[in-house]
Structure 1
């Protein structure tokens, strides 16, 4: 059976230790830690913050499923709409790209400190004056630097693909893993993203077998090719039985993490309802 975790990115109206405590109160086995504001944004994340996080994990007994380093909203004093991924590890500006590489290294060190097996990273988008071929070159160079650091800390890096990013589907992430050729690189498989792209999420699991560093769960209205809006399981049209059967079939023994950042207004309700909806799979 796959253990369930819940991401703190639904609890951005609460301090990180409180988010951990609230998630534990809903009976989850693990927690994913947001490596961004207002939780663990590393330029502002003090030693006291780190100690408080470790204390909350110790008090609750929760394991850390992963460190979510997909976003960098904290980079901006007044974040523009495009801040969700930028600056990314494919950004054309050398200084901005280096900032994101170093930030990801900090996320790896944090993962090591909280005994998380992996860090998730989005590729970002090929924006103006950065065509996909050039962005791919930046991506691979960035990843080799990041993976050198990850291997020193015994932490894996999972690429989370998403429609409209440079790497946006299963075939592309597997091609990237093959091109980079390092065991420390895998996929943080967001099954809702697979569905929105038009893939069968259960088949995506089977294709990624042996490369999955973590799993993100959410429901999607409209199922395959539906709208990219994260819903509580049961509120959309995804087949969770098929997805959990596929995880069993490939022998996946990590966490499946609910990622419901769209429910910050009432994260406790979302966490409770999601746990109830998926109780049969635990």
Structure 2
């Protein structure tokens, strides 16, 4: 099976200004990119900022295949706001921006970071609010064939983030589906799963039907394949065996200039 690679331009090519990254990905041989929410300090950027982001993708001639929903100030340590009852309006306002970007660029996969546990708010209330907000986002993007993605994050690196295992993430997927939103799937990320001790092959085989997107980085260190202990040849073989034919996004930290981070692909094309 021919593998389709995309570049996450929020972690790679960061030596360049954000508007220059899609073109850099193209020049490195990629036809598709994904981004975290481009404006970590606000849920609703200006129309001019949204236009500039979309124009950068269009001018580069690449496809935007993934976009994180607004997740708060990630550089400051936040990992989502959708489970926070006090920020539901803020989150839903950001979804309208997401829809506008999707209409312009054609992006159809949206990663919804759950949010960290809050002091003074019952876990059950945070889960209830999160379920409602994810279902809301799913309905909005479902109108044009979009999919919401739910992922666990690496333990110890993301604060009090409650989704650490595939089972944690899939429990959220099932809760949202029970609300009538069928277009919610599991984001399979090799770094977060393996870093938390999950068996990558077992997770892929047991949850093949629920995997909506794949991201990769090695463990430990979150570097490119070959810098850690994951057997990517075996992993890609399993993904082929379960029939995964979506994009494989490179979401790893470069160890030098980004343009030199892709030689490993020759062995796994």
Whether the aligned pair in 2 keeps the contact of 1:191 and 1:201 (CA below 8 Å) is: yes
TM alignment of 1:261-280, pairs within 5 A: 262-263=253-254, 266=256, 269-273=257-261, 275-280=262-267
Q: Which residue of 2 aligns with 1:189?
A: 188
Between the aligned partners of 1:14 and 1:69, the Cα distance in structure 2 is: 22
- The size of the alignment, in residue pairs, is 259
The answer to whether the aligner puts 1:90 opposite 2:89 as a matched pair is: no
Unaligned stretches of 5+ residues in structure 2? none
Whether the aligned pair in 1 keeps the contact of 2:43 and 2:72 (CA below 8 Å) is: no
Between the aligned partners of 1:67 and 1:187, the Cα distance in structure 2 is: 15
TM-score, normalised to structure 1, is 0.81
Whether the aligned pair in 2 keeps the contact of 1:68 and 1:120 (CA below 8 Å) is: yes
SS of the residue aligned with 2:209? coil
Greater CA drift, 8-17 or 237-246: 8-17
Greater CA drift, 101-110 or 4-13: 101-110
The answer to whether the aligner puts 1:117 opposite 2:118 as a matched pair is: no
Unaligned stretches of 5+ residues in structure 1? 222-228
Between the aligned partners of 1:230 and 1:60, the Cα distance in structure 2 is: 27
Q: Which residue of 2 aligns with 1:15?
A: 17
TM-score, normalised to structure 2, is 0.85
Q: Which residue of 1 aligns with 2:230?
A: 238
Shift of 1:202: 2.5
Between the aligned partners of 2:206 and 2:96, the Cα distance in structure 1 is: 28
Shift of 1:5: 0.8
Whether the aligned pair in 2 keeps the contact of 1:3 and 1:255 (CA below 8 Å) is: yes
Between the aligned partners of 1:105 and 1:202, the Cα distance in structure 2 is: 37
Q: Which residue of 1 aligns with 2:127?
A: 136
1 or 2 for the larger relative contact order (CA 8 Å, sep ≥6)?
Answer: 1
The answer to whether the aligner puts 1:250 opposite 2:237 as a matched pair is: no
The answer to whether the aligner puts 1:169 opposite 2:165 as a matched pair is: yes
Shift of 1:217: 0.8
